[in-house]
Amino acid sequence: MTPQVARRSRSAATLMCICIALFAIGVVGQFEVFTLAPAWLPEMQAWYSGLLPYYLLLPAQIVLLMIMSVVAWNRRVRSGRFSAARPRTAATLRVLALLYFAFMAARLGLNVIGNGVEFWRAGAIPVAFHWVLALFLLVSARDAPPSLHAFRIPSGDGDEHDETEHIAHGDVPAMAQPLAHGLGFREEVRYGHSR
């Protein structure tokens, strides 16, 4: 791994871990408000948009934290090799992350228009944590560094030209004979000759 790729990998890992920590803080804070309702935290309606019942939302958040941890741990994602191997998938994820961010910005704008200075009590906290998820998605699907583009891994989409498709049956390219002295094979085997 080149120093440039190593630096990018470390910075991506750091940013993804920050996103995981921020999202975990949101999950714990919401759970604390739901169970204890401390006076020093905003009430539940500030943390919860109500799209899912909380008994379904909490397990979904925990599963999401586990998936985020696995992705952040994956060296291929951190170094950009995933993007080099699957450029279309990575580009799609980047577009989805930007659309997600924009949708949440529009949601926050409507919230501010509808609630004025009290906008933070009507779902602004979930928007902030959705932005954290969008940032995590954007970082995990970021473009590969130039050094990886130079040695791009084939994506398997059929774009690469495969010369083996044009080799006629039985026409094998010349190669060294590694077994000539080792196992004592003295007889040449040819297609169509059997005893």
pLDDT tens column, 77-91: 888 888 888 899 999
3 state SS of 47: helix
- For the question of whether the overall pTM of this predicted structure is more than 0.75, the answer is no
Cα angle, residue 64 at apex, residues 54 and 42 outer, rounded to 5°: 45
The count of C-alpha atoms lying within 13 angstroms of the C-alpha of 54, restricted to the half-sphere facing its C-beta, is 13
The structural domains of the chain, with segments of one domain joined by +, span 3-150
pLDDT tens column, 141-158: 987 666 554 444 454 444
